[in-house]
Chain A
């Protein structure tokens, strides 16, 4: 009987913790996932799945890394698993292409100059291959340290550094190329 009480009080705490996590990081996780999948509905679905997964994993969390890092790892792995899945590779890809096409034509009609510059940068980042995009996103948008990015992505720091350099180079080339076509 005593054991049942322990289980019960523990689960209540896990639910509380899940609420706190959703409150603190829900929006961040949604944006992170969107940065990978580029699709609003899909990002919303995956974010919900991530928090359910996080709840299920709470009993395995032993405090060896910060809770935020831990949650980001779950989120990134879950999203990448989706991107690798049969469903995504066979069905989603076409929608992605359509979506990007829509975005591009939106861009043409935008008139405010600063907004054009901003959206050009954001869009060019969003069109980078995932392995470069994630680094630009984690480093410049979320402002994580190289060391933490390496941990979250499960890679060593040197790989992260050199890939980030390559990502910036690629981004620069693409921005210059689009400036050329716009002129």
Chain B
């Protein structure tokens, strides 16, 4: 049995996995989802003080948030979703809608910031991986 199982790798590569491929498209789908989440993090972090959608879009643009640069409408989608989740609330003032974090939203922002401030030497780790590959 052991002898036969030595051929398993080749056997599965040529049969089971022959139509299976992790493509550039899959990679992009992941990157897109990640950059949307990143945009949400940045957006929430800005809403500790009330801001309008237009002001938010501008600031996110200036900060170089890729997902927003590619699709400005995303700001409103994210605002809407975050409002539904109870992370922020909107109110009207002088014909403009302002958004501001709720207590729940503030907790989310604080948690995210605490997570990201912990510094890990990624550069070293990347190098280490490059050597092993």
Contact = CB atoms under 8 A, between A and B. Distances in A.
Given A20-B129, A44-B26, A67-B129, A140 B9 contact: yes
Contacts of A6: 116-117, 119
A123 B118 contact: no
B116 A24 contact: no
B contact face: mostly helix, strand, loop, or mixed: helix
Contact of A119 (B2, B11, B117): B11
A31 to B, nearest CB: 5
Contacts of B126: 13, 16-17, 20
Given A22-B27, A48-B29, A136 B5 contact: yes
Interface in B30-84: 30-31, 33-35, 37-38, 63
Given A10-B119, A17-B126, A3 B113 contact: yes
Contacts of A17: 122, 125-126
Interface residues of A, number: 56
B26 A48 contact: yes
B8 A11 contact: no
B1 A168 contact: yes
A172 interface: yes
Task: Identify which of A56, A121, A171 gathers the most chain B CB atoms within 10 Å of its CB.
Answer: A121
Interface in A56-76: 56, 59-63, 67
A79 interface: no
Given A15-B34, A17-B122, A26 B113 contact: no
Contact of B22 (A47, A62, A119): A47
Interface stretch (B13-21, B87-95, B97-105): B13-21
A122 B27 contact: no
Interface string A80-103: 000000000000000000000000
Given A11-B116, A55-B34, A122 B26 contact: no
Interface of B: 1-2, 4-12, 14-17, 19-22, 26-27, 29-31, 33-35, 37-38, 63, 113, 115-120, 122-123, 125-126, 129-130, 133
Given A11-B116, A22-B22, A48-B30, 17 more contacts: A3-B117, A6-B116, A7-B117, A13-B122, A16-B122, A18-B34, A26-B26, A34-B17, A43-B20, A52-B33, A117-B11, A119-B14, A122-B12, A136-B8, A141-B12, A143-B9, A171-B5
